[in-house]
Amino acid sequence: MDFYKYQGTGNDFVLIDDRNETFPSSNQALIEHLCHRRFGIGADGLILLQNDPDYDFRMVYFNADGAEGSMCGNGGRCIVRFAHDLGLFDSETRFRAVDGEHTAVVCEEDIFLKMGAVSGIEDREGLTFLNTGSPHVVRFVDDLESLDVVVEGRTIRYSSTLQPNGTNVNYAQVLDDNTVFVRTYERGVEDETYSCGTGVTAVALVAHQQLAMLDPIFIKTIGGNLRVSFNRLADGRFDDIYLIGPAKRVFAGTISL
């Protein structure tokens, strides 16, 4: 099987051209093996590019544990770059993901990915919660550099308040009037990742609501820099949300299944 490795601000993925739909997507153990950093290719997730009769392509995303996941923002930017590399579109595209339609524009290094609308930000027993295609909790801290994100994040990820599916957990520190440093504990990976697209989107919307930061909001992650633009409606909802940043091909190869 041919595969391709892409990364978006350090969030890395195995990309597979599955337009002939021959990949055994029901084999969770295989997907987990391919994502394993010691015994497989190594990635935060695996993404299939499939045909769709109404769109340029369909995105099917699996977490590193092999289970099919919710929307992945950095993965979305990576599959857009992959589809562009395959020649499926010129500069603008429409594709379908698990949470519905997305559009994107390729502009040299950056991918402008339109995210789904967000219905609002909730307080769940003291936790700031919202869904940006995946569920997220956002917490602002003063010293993010020294925080043990895995230990702290895991506690909230498995909190009884957010069961049965749990949540991703983002810790954020304000650096200046329009820049936030973000670190994320991702469910499915069950570890801190270098970056999380739906996570930084969640942080940006909360920073606007709670701290009056204006869009675009610039995000610093361990894996690189992103920015998020959006429109806030009078009823507290958000639309025209764009996750903007680089996505790059790292290498390609073949592997025996």
Q: Which residue type does 76 have?
A: G
Closest CA to 154 of 143, 166, 139: 166
**CB of 237 within 8 A of CB of 16?**
no
**Separation of alpha carbons 216 and 177, rounded Å:** 11
Which of the residues 35, 78, 107, 196 is marked catalytic? 196
Segment (H or E) for 205: helix 197-211
21-41 residues labelled b (16+ CB within 10 A) or e (exposed): eebebeeeebbbebbeeeebb
Dmax of the chain from CA atoms? 54
Cβ atoms of 64 and 43 within 8 Å: the answer is yes
Task: Please give the angle made by the CA atoms of 142, 147 and 152, to the nearest 5 degrees.
Answer: 115
107 is catalytic: no
Instruction: Please give the C-alpha separations between residue 73 and each of 6, 54, 145, 148, 257, in angstroms, as whole numbers.
Output: 13, 21, 24, 24, 28
CA distance 83 to 93: 9
Beta bridge partners of 114: 242
Residues known to be catalytic: 72, 196
